Amino acid sequence: MEEKKLTFEEKLNRLAEIVEKVENETLPLEESIKLYEEGNALIKELNLTLKEAEDKIGQYKKIEK
């Protein structure tokens, strides 16, 4: 539930952090697996968010006086 609160930008930053970590650090296998799964989940989520947003193109709110 906590994760739901992350914004797109925060998720993107977290993903960058994960990639950076698994690429440049020697991590215990368990942690690597966890990060790897988390990273892949984030990629999936972010792609989905983008895709869903694209379906809403053309909508906007007009606020008159």
Partner 1 sequence: MKTANEESYLSISLLNKLVKAKLELDPDLQKLYVKGEISSWKVYPTAIYFSLKDESSVVSCMMWNSSAQYLKFIPKVGDEVLVRASINVYPPRGTYSLLCYSLELYGQGKELLALEELKKKLAAEGLFDPSKKKKIPEFPDKIGFIAGDGSAAEADIIRNSQRRWPLAELYFFPSLVQGKDAPKDLVRALKKAEEYPLDVLIIARGGGSSEDLSAFNDETLTREVAKCPIPTIAAIGHEIDYSLVDLAADLRVSTPTAAAEASTPDSNEIKQMLDGAYERLQEAWESQKEAILAQISNLSNRPFFKNPASMYSDKREEVEDYRKRLNLSIDHIIALDKERIEALSKHLSALNPYGVLSRGYSIATNEKGEILKSVSDVRKGEEVTIRLKDGSLKTEVK
Tell me: does residue 19 bind partner 1 (CB under 8 A): yes
Category of 29 on φ-ψ map: left (φ > 0), alpha (ψ -120 to 50) or beta: alpha
Tell me which DSSP letter residue 26 carries: -
Tell me: does residue 29 bind partner 1 (CB under 8 A): yes
The length of the chain, given as a count of residues:
65
On whether the CB atoms of residues 18 and 39 are closer than 8 A, the answer is yes
Tell me: does residue 22 bind partner 1 (CB under 8 A): yes
What is the closest distance, in whole angstroms, from the C-beta atom of residue 54 to partner 1 in the complex?
5
Report the interface residues with partner 1, using CB under 8 A.
7-9, 12, 15-16, 18-19, 22-23, 27, 29, 32, 36, 39-40, 43, 46-47, 49-50, 53-54, 56-65
